Structure 1
């Protein structure tokens, strides 16, 4: 006699897609929204430049600007509890013409387009956008060394038409052919393409390294001659701590 506990169940007579018909669809997540309780600035915000800091080195670079005095608005993700301060994407006014969006929370890929749409809508209308993200090793076609800081760029069509001297990130080479970018950075660049905005996406490696902080400083400083107040000794506080033995030999 068969053991009903240990014997495998017989195959279903229904196809896998038919079984899904009996499962109620999950409720759609509410859309992210922008909240501006911190200042009395009149909407929409129209900066000359919107910088979106996603990578850890870029957040470290702008750390001195991230305070309650510069906070202008917050992008709320309704599915995350507000009890944690890093669960919002905060918009800071770091000069009279430049806004900075600090993305401290990890963004799931299935929410990237919703966040990009909420960030670049009628409430924020920049003339140009710079996105600072990291290279994901599995998406890069080539060798990545943990001992060498590298950065590349991708551009929207509106930015690519500009002359070399007018580029947002003129000192960078283009991301190697065959490599890809995904996640929030790619979603924001795609949104800029739809809106016909000038936009440049910078992806850097390693994820955690003082040399990347200094590299980004040299790239961003010409845009508005920022005074980051950051020297090499201070950048070393944000030194290599996770990528010290990693090298990518993966080709796609």
Structure 2
């Protein structure tokens, strides 16, 4: 006679993934949305250039660029506001949108200072390009992800590549000169890929520039040179002296943290 207390129970008729079918799916996240400083929210902005910065060097350089006017913010509902400062700061988890020229708003800048998950990338890209903001041209600045790069990357080597939409390639002159195209077999994913796809879909001249590494004085010099010589030519602007020192302190702190992990 079987011992019903000590004997193992019979196997379940359901597989583990089948049991999950009885769990109600989580409620969908609210869509991201734009909040503008102007009371006329129905206005559509049509800048000649929209710069979307995500890499550390581009965020630091453009954050300290002036004169620029804060005109809006992209809100991602799952990103909390707690810990953000009243005045825009590089330490905030935010996506502020600026006009570089207050009079005619020829150039707009979006500083993406929070991580966007892959499943939310297309929704964020839709908000930034093609609805309330319809630019003639888009420049996306991101970092090379080593997991997506076909080849070896050294922290002692500073490199940058570009990808362009079909409409940009057909244009008479590329906005970024002197950069090689991203090597065949390497990949770009996340928000950068979603933004470039959005430009392709909307037939907007779009360029994605990816640089390596994400921190360090050489890569800052490279990104700054790219922006000053090719992108911001003819635009009256200044940069305060804090960005270089602040970026150097961040790079040293990151290097120290990384080295401590391997000691």
**Is the TM value for this pair above 0.5?**
yes
Q: Is the 8 Å Cα contact of residues 162 and 182 (structure 2) preserved in structure 1?
A: yes
TM-score, normalised with respect to structure 2: 0.81
Residue 204 of structure 2 corresponds to residue 197 of structure 1: yes
The offset of 1:118, in angstroms, is 1.3
Over aligned residue pairs, what C-alpha RMSD do you find? 2.8
Correspondence for 1:29: 29
The offset of 1:145, in angstroms, is 1.0
Alignment of 1:47-196 (within 5 A): 47-65=47-65, 70-85=69-84, 86-95=92-101, 96-163=105-172, 166-196=173-203
Q: Is the 8 Å Cα contact of residues 39 and 72 (structure 1) preserved in structure 2?
A: no
Q: Is the 8 Å Cα contact of residues 155 and 200 (structure 1) preserved in structure 2?
A: yes
Correspondence for 1:250: none
Q: Is the 8 Å Cα contact of residues 65 and 239 (structure 2) preserved in structure 1?
A: no
Q: Is the 8 Å Cα contact of residues 66 and 92 (structure 1) preserved in structure 2?
A: no
d(CA) in 2 for partners of 1:238 and 1:49? 29
d(CA) in 2 for partners of 1:208 and 1:217? 13
Higher mean C-alpha deviation, range 17-26 or range 218-227: 218-227
Alignment of 1:210-249 (within 5 A): 210-221=217-228, 222-225=230-233, 227-229=237-239, 234=245, 236-239=248-251, 241-242=253-254
178 and 241 in structure 1: CA distance in 2 versus 1, 3 angstrom threshold: farther
The offset of 1:16, in angstroms, is 4.0
d(CA) in 2 for partners of 1:31 and 1:170? 36
CA offset digits 1:134-189 (Å, max 9, x no partner): 111111011111112110011111111123xx101122100011000111111111
The offset of 1:19, in angstroms, is 1.9
Q: Is the 8 Å Cα contact of residues 148 and 187 (structure 2) preserved in structure 1?
A: yes
3-state secondary structure, aligned to 1:87: coil
3-state secondary structure, aligned to 1:110: helix
Gapped runs of 5+ residues in structure 1? 247-252
Residue 55 of structure 2 corresponds to residue 46 of structure 1: no
d(CA) in 2 for partners of 1:29 and 1:233? 38
Q: Is the 8 Å Cα contact of residues 66 and 239 (structure 2) preserved in structure 1?
A: no
Q: Is the 8 Å Cα contact of residues 88 and 105 (structure 1) preserved in structure 2?
A: yes
The offset of 1:201, in angstroms, is 0.4
d(CA) in 2 for partners of 1:82 and 1:205? 30
236 and 121 in structure 1: CA distance in 2 versus 1, 3 angstrom threshold: same
